[in-house]
Amino acid sequence: MELNSGVPLITQQYAALLRKNFILTWRHKKSAFLQLFSSLFFIFLIFCIDKAVKSRFSSTTAYKNVHDPQPLILPPIPPCEDKFYVKTPCHDFIWSGNASARIATIVSAIMKNNPGREIPAEKVKSFRTQAEVDAWLESNPMRCPGALHFVERNSTVISYGIQTNSTAVAKRGSYEDPTFKFQIPLQIAAEREISRSLIGDPNFKWTVGFKEFAHPATETFSAVGTAGPTFFLAIAMFGFVFQISSLVTEKELKLRQAMSIMGLYDSAYWLSWFTWEAFLTVVAALFTVLFGIMFQFNFFLHNSFAVLFLLFFLFQLNMLSFAFMISAFVSKSSSATTVGFSIFIIGFLTQLVTVFGFPYDSNFTKLYRVIWSLFPPNLLAKALDLLGNETATSEDEGISWGRRGECTTYEPDCTITIEDIYKWLISTFFVWFILAIYFDNIIPNSNGVRKSMFYFLNPSYWTGNDGNKVEEGSLCSCSGSIPPLDDATPSDEDVLAEETSVKQQAANNEVDPNVAVQIRGLTKTYPGTTKIGCCKCQRSSPYHAVKGIWVNLAKDQLFCLLGPNGAGKTTVINCLTGVTPVTAGDALIHGYSVRSSVGMSNIRRMIGVCPQFDILWDELSAQEHLHLFASIKGLPPSTIKSVAEKSLEEVKLTTAARVRSGNYSGGMKRRLSVAIALIGDPKMVFLDEPTTGMDPITRRHVWDIIEDAKRGRAIVLTTHSMEEADILSDRIAIMAKGKLRCIGTSIRLKSRFGTGYVANVSFPSNAPGQTPNVYGSAPTSNPHLEPVKQFFKDRLNVDPKEENKTFLTFVIPHQKEGLLTNFFAELQDREEEFGISDIQLGLTTLEEVFLNIAKQAELESSSMEENLVTLNLSSGPSIQIPKGARFVGIPGTESSEHPRGLMVEVYWEQDDTGTLCISGHSSETDIPPNVQLTVNRAPSRRGSIRGAPLGFVIDSNLIS
Ligand SMILES: Nc1ncnc2c1ncn2[C@@H]1O[C@H](COP(=O)(O)OP(=O)(O)OP(=O)(O)O)[C@@H](O)[C@H]1O
């Protein structure tokens, strides 16, 4: 099938990723809802703040333009209890001049004619002189709000004076105006009653009107301008956190890596995220302005719609590219909220500073403004401040689209206009976006791979010929010295023959047309890392995971890579699929080198990978996964539907095709991963432990799929199931400690590395001694067993490995191979005599081969690394033995009865992590005479177990 390439492929990938982003957003409805509609909640809060502030300031006109001041209603003399902080009992007023009867009459009239409330006599106190009043006030503080001092000069002149406490005091946020509340009512009452007394008409009308000046608003308050920066920042933080979380999840779950292996272009990846998020940002900004209008804020009604929309859109877009940049530094999606919260707090504080006037004022140099403007929340705060001040009163016109480049009326020598803010937002958007891509390249990914810090200066980067130049390790790691690689010639003859043949082909630069992959001395050394903790630095030294592998993998064949945990199998696959760079050597896949970026991009088009762990989006269904990966691979769009359907059928997921993979069982996920690996008919398929976690029926089904998939392609399979390797593989290699230990067909490995042959001798179940006796007691033992056991012992010198009443199992070493033909001929002849019902002869299992190789590798590395374990002998003492040793001599057991001492065979098994551990040992036997007794090495300090002597290893070839 012809796959798309170049620009059509990028477009196809872009469209598929856009669809994926849409589905993810759709399936995360709560997050999407918050991102789009959180503005409604926050604008409602601003509305509440606005209402609260307006009600608080309703008594003052300082925040209003007053063009036509209304007459003020004059208050009467208030009860003294109305005064803030008064002490009771109190007096509404006190007065002096009580020597005059006329004055006393005037005061009585004041009390009687107080509008709305006659002042009772006990609430007024009289004195003769002002001095007496002062003396009383001094000794009775806070007992009255004001005092009147009358003097009757003559029959036509009565003078008066007023004393009030003019300090404006606040109580619970409200201010008391002593002039208007106490002084003026007293003054008007005194003047009115003096006039009536002088005129002699007690009904004389005395009207005094009050009005404030017409004035513009002397103070301004915009709820949006004041609370907006914080609240709109909070709105943007929802998108910010979700964006970081989405990007980091794709990194963390290696989804991005899986897409890259399949040939995803970075440009399509970034562009798809940007387009989708920009779309959401447009909608969110639109809703913000519409909700603001809905709540009838002057801010939203009077400023131009276009000005506001562009501001919110550019700000949120800026936060988006800022999130892209921050996500490069975050490795766990669970940290996204913490990061978002920290950015919000920082933004809140810097916005506070901005609102106080820093640095958008001519007193500050431009440098401050440049640095400050890099952080998008600061620009938002300034813009809201400008727009808020322009709509502080209902008469303000706000900023129209045409006036966006002009200074505002209240700030004629402004340092920044709305248009400048737009320019800043657009520039910082590009700054953060470019930095996001730069950091994404230079910060090590989950495999520790990154580009050099100056990769963009290399012209070949821009032409796409940079030779896959990547580096490993963190940016500031100081890797220690690399331990030398032991490049010893392989000890196994088949591995050596393969190596020699590949080396010869490589030297002649020839590749056999039947070879799909030629691995030429592939070496991978992971660099050491330095982790800087709070108290100490943790350093790990470089590690040779793969130590020079030479092998040809044939077309149309399944090559199985076996090995214990940590052998280097996944590393080999990662090197071949371009996940991690090769340290030395090379590998050609269908003639393309994994070391060249051009080669790698061609390789990506012809490979399919089923990674060790399922790399799937929980929210996408199997069908959506297959459509996505098929598009990333560049399958013609018209074929994708049918290819996906066929693929789903093959892995028996048709009925669950539309179910989200998060609801799949482990086995279903693995099957989907296999289907993804096989989509697009790749020439080369890598299956890393594809059947892990499957039940036996599903496993057999996947084996059928793999068996079918073998036709026309090469497959590399790693597995821990020996049965799987045995059934599926055309060729098997066992790796341990980064090296190939053996290679060949299953039969060859079994015959070379198995302990030998397994003979099963069966006896009829109704043989004498097998049936219960008449009294129903247990059957007696089978009398045929002993003669057969003796026959094996006499002819082959072997004891049964397993026995029960109906069968005996013997393991016959390879050395006895020559005797087998005659031995079994005789056994068959005497079948009747021995009472045998069946004889079966087979090679030992692949599992045994695997364990032998693993033990051998452990033994090798144990002797190099002095890796000792303790063997607790059933006879009592303990000895130390190298890990993996099979036959071990027990020191100090020499005696007259056992002149050469005693030895045991140690049985090993692998635990869940693949590590070898002792499962038991044989009975102690004499060390045979052909074994040369060696002098014990003194155990080194490392790995030595105090008190336990060191056992010595006996070559298993010497034990017959
Ligand atoms: N990124 C890395 N940095 C450092 N060491 C690593 C890295 N990846 C793997 N290793 C080490 O390289 C060795 C080989 O690992 P690898 O995953 O290839 O083994 P494997 O044979 O696939 O094992 P398994 O069967 O458990 O998957 C291990 O010791 C592992 O700890």
pLDDT band at 862 (very low <50, low <70, confident <90, very high): low
The pick from 546, 570, 575 for probing ligand 1's pocket by mutation, whose C-beta has the most ligand atoms within 8 angstroms, reads 570
**H or E stretch including 151?**
strand 146-152
Place of tokens 């007691």: 777
The reported pLDDT for the residue numbered 85 is: 85
159 versus 772: the higher-pLDDT residue is: 159
> DSSP string covering 306-344, please?
HHHHHHHHHHHHHHHHHHHHHHTT---GGGHHHHHHHHH
**H or E stretch including 732?**
strand 731-736
Task: For ligand 1, atom 19, name the residue with the nearest CA.
Answer: 566
The reported pLDDT for the residue numbered 777 is: 42
Task: For ligand 1, atom 25, name the residue with the nearest CA.
Answer: 565
Stretch(es) of the chain classified as CATH 3.40.190: 80-199
Ligand 1 atom closest to the Cα of residue 735 is: 21
Residue 391: partners with Cβ closer than 8 Å, 6 or more residues away: 222, 297, 298, 299, 301, 302, 303, 398
- Residue 266 and residue 252: Cα distance in Å, rounded? 17
The pick from 571, 686, 915 for probing ligand 1's pocket by mutation, whose C-beta has the most ligand atoms within 8 angstroms, reads 571
Neighbour tally for 635: CB within 10 Å: 23
The reported pLDDT for the residue numbered 940 is: 43
947 versus 579: the higher-pLDDT residue is: 579
Among the residues of 474-541, which ranges form H helices?
493-507
Task: For ligand 1, atom 12, name the residue with the nearest CA.
Answer: 545
CB 1 within 8 A of CB 635: yes
Ligand 1 atom closest to the Cα of residue 567 is: 21
**Which residue, 614, 591, 552, is CA-closest to 683?**
591
CB 769 within 8 A of CB 786: no
Whether 944 shows a pLDDT value over 60: the answer reads no
Q: Classify domain 493-748 at the CATH topology level.
A: Rossmann fold (3.40.50)
- Residue 710 and residue 557: Cα distance in Å, rounded? 6
Task: For ligand 1, atom 7, name the residue with the nearest CA.
Answer: 526
Question: In the numeric block, which tokens belong to residue 405?
Answer: 């480049």
pLDDT (tens digit per residue) in 48-76: 998 888 887 777 787 788 888 888 887 89
- Residue 219 and residue 227: Cα distance in Å, rounded? 17
Separation of CA 789 and ligand 1 centre (Å): 46
Separation of CA 553 and ligand 1 centre (Å): 22
Lowest mean pLDDT among 272-281, 765-774, 878-887, 914-923: 765-774
pLDDT band at 305 (very low <50, low <70, confident <90, very high): very high
CB 316 within 8 A of CB 284: yes
Residue 394: partners with Cβ closer than 8 Å, 6 or more residues away: 298
Whether 738 shows a pLDDT value over 60: the answer reads yes
pLDDT band at 597 (very low <50, low <70, confident <90, very high): confident
pLDDT (tens digit per residue) in 475-498: 555 555 566 666 667 778 889 999
**Which residue, 104, 158, 97, 109, is CA-closest to 133?**
97
Whether 281 shows a pLDDT value over 50: the answer reads yes
Separation of CA 688 and ligand 1 centre (Å): 13
The reported pLDDT for the residue numbered 278 is: 92
Instruction: Please give the average per-residue pLDDT across 755-767, as a whole number.
Output: 80
Separation of CA 571 and ligand 1 centre (Å): 6
pLDDT band at 945 (very low <50, low <70, confident <90, very high): very low
Stretch(es) of the chain classified as CATH 3.40.50.300: 493-748
The reported pLDDT for the residue numbered 473 is: 62
Instruction: Please give the average per-residue pLDDT across 724-729, as a whole number.
Output: 90
Instruction: Please give the average per-residue pLDDT across 639-668, as a whole number.
Output: 92
Residue length of the chain: 960
Instruction: Please give the average per-residue pLDDT across 660-681, as a whole number.
Output: 91
Separation of CA 591 and ligand 1 centre (Å): 27
Place of tokens 């279903």: 668
- Residue 946 and residue 960: Cα distance in Å, rounded? 34
Give the β-pairing of 807-813 and 800-803: antiparallel
Question: In the numeric block, which tokens belong to residue 100?
Answer: 């005059």
pLDDT (tens digit per residue) in 416-449: 999 999 999 999 999 999 999 999 889 888 777 8
Separation of CA 575 and ligand 1 centre (Å): 12
Stretch(es) of the chain classified as CATH 3.30.70: 756-843
Separation of CA 700 and ligand 1 centre (Å): 28
Separation of CA 916 and ligand 1 centre (Å): 17
* Whether complex ipTM tops 0.95: yes
Whether 149 shows a pLDDT value over 90: the answer reads yes
Separation of CA 738 and ligand 1 centre (Å): 9
925 versus 946: the higher-pLDDT residue is: 925
Ligand 1 atom closest to the Cα of residue 571 is: 18
Lowest mean pLDDT among 32-46, 462-476, 580-594, 744-758: 462-476
Separation of CA 719 and ligand 1 centre (Å): 15
Is residue 943 helix, strand or coil? coil
Whether 77 shows a pLDDT value over 90: the answer reads yes
Task: For ligand 1, atom 31, name the residue with the nearest CA.
Answer: 566
Residue 484: partners with Cβ closer than 8 Å, 6 or more residues away: none
Whether 773 shows a pLDDT value over 50: the answer reads no
Task: For ligand 1, atom 30, name the residue with the nearest CA.
Answer: 566
The reported pLDDT for the residue numbered 571 is: 93
Whether 399 shows a pLDDT value over 50: the answer reads yes
Q: Classify domain 756-843 at the CATH topology level.
A: Alpha-Beta Plaits (3.30.70)
Considering the domain 80-199 in this protein, what is its CATH number? 3.40.190
**H or E stretch including 741?**
strand 739-744
- Residue 571 and residue 583: Cα distance in Å, rounded? 11
CB 885 within 8 A of CB 953: yes
Ligand 1 atom closest to the Cα of residue 563 is: 21
Instruction: Please give the average per-residue pLDDT across 304-329, as a whole number.
Output: 93
The reported pLDDT for the residue numbered 23 is: 95
Instruction: Please give the average per-residue pLDDT across 908-931, as a whole number.
Output: 78
- Residue 381 and residue 355: Cα distance in Å, rounded? 7
Task: For ligand 1, atom 16, name the residue with the nearest CA.
Answer: 568
Separation of CA 62 and ligand 1 centre (Å): 73
* Three-state SS letters, 373-396: HCCHHHHHHHHHHHHHHCCCCCCC
Whether 656 shows a pLDDT value over 80: the answer reads yes
Task: For ligand 1, atom 5, name the residue with the nearest CA.
Answer: 526
Residue 206: partners with Cβ closer than 8 Å, 6 or more residues away: 188, 191, 192, 195, 196
Separation of CA 566 and ligand 1 centre (Å): 5
pLDDT (tens digit per residue) in 355-389: 888 898 888 888 999 999 999 999 999 998 888 88
Separation of CA 609 and ligand 1 centre (Å): 17
Task: For ligand 1, atom 9, name the residue with the nearest CA.
Answer: 571
Ligand 1 atom closest to the Cα of residue 572 is: 18
pLDDT (tens digit per residue) in 180-220: 889 999 999 999 999 999 999 998 998 888 888 898 877 77
Separation of CA 831 and ligand 1 centre (Å): 53
pLDDT band at 251 (very low <50, low <70, confident <90, very high): confident
Mean pLDDT of the chain: 85
pLDDT band at 776 (very low <50, low <70, confident <90, very high): very low
Ligand 1 atom closest to the Cα of residue 612 is: 27
- Residue 41 and residue 17: Cα distance in Å, rounded? 32
Whether 458 shows a pLDDT value over 80: the answer reads no
Task: For ligand 1, atom 4, name the residue with the nearest CA.
Answer: 526
Instruction: Please give the average per-residue pLDDT across 647-670, as a whole number.
Output: 91
**Taking CB atoms and a 6 Å cutoff, what residues make up the pocket around ligand 1?**
447-448, 526, 543, 545, 563, 565-571, 612
Write phi, then psi, for 217 (nearest 5 degrees): -60, 125
> What is the amino acid identity at position 194?
I
